Copies of this chain bind each other. A is one copy, B any other.
Amino acid sequence: MSETALAVHRAFYDAVETGDADLMATLWVDHPRVSCVHPGAVPLRGTGAVLRSWTVLMANVSYIQFFLTDIDVTTFPLGDDEPTMAVIVCTENILSGEGMSSPDAFAGGKALCTSILVRDPSGGRTAGDWKFWSRHASPIADLGTEDR
């Protein structure tokens, strides 16, 4: 089951990387209390506001790629064969820029993200019906401690 939730989690990043707003729209629960926290920002609430923010981001970034590390997924209820929620914590190593035409414009970044996925309440219990309920991303302060 955690593989299915992880596939939806990966599809989210695929949508951002390919600028696929339609795919993105299929990945979120349609509910006014859905929330999304972008790094350093206050929360967006409601599926419409969340999707708009991603559409704007995708429209303004010509190239972006996410390398996910330290992915940790837990499904709930704990130990249940038919979980209804998944909490996924991961590090996003982000590469973005102007693409091949200007290699110098590449920029790197790092964020820490907690995602909460639920089985779509309007859908059945079939595989692939996991959807995002909440996302909380935060900047990681580069204190250099890892390299020392």
Contacts and interface: CB of A to CB of B under 8 A. Distances in A.
Given A76-B84, A76-B118, 15 more contacts: A33-B74, A35-B89, A37-B114, A37-B138, A40-B140, A41-B141, A42-B70, A43-B70, A45-B72, A77-B121, A87-B133, A87-B134, A89-B136, A112-B136, A114-B136
B139 A139 contact: yes
Interface residues of A, number: 35
Q: Do most interface residues of chain A lie in helix, strand or loop, or is the interface mixed?
A: strand
B140 A139 contact: no
A38 B14 CA distance: 28
A131 B17 CA distance: 36
Interface string A96-137: 000000000000000010101010010000000000011011
Contact of A138 (B70, B78, B87, B136): B136
A87 B72 contact: no
Given A114-B37, A114-B114, A121 B78 contact: yes
Contacts of A85: 76, 85
Contacts of A72: 33, 35, 43, 45
Given A33-B72, A45-B72, A89 B134 contact: yes
A79 to B, nearest CB: 8
A37 B87 contact: no
A138 B77 contact: no
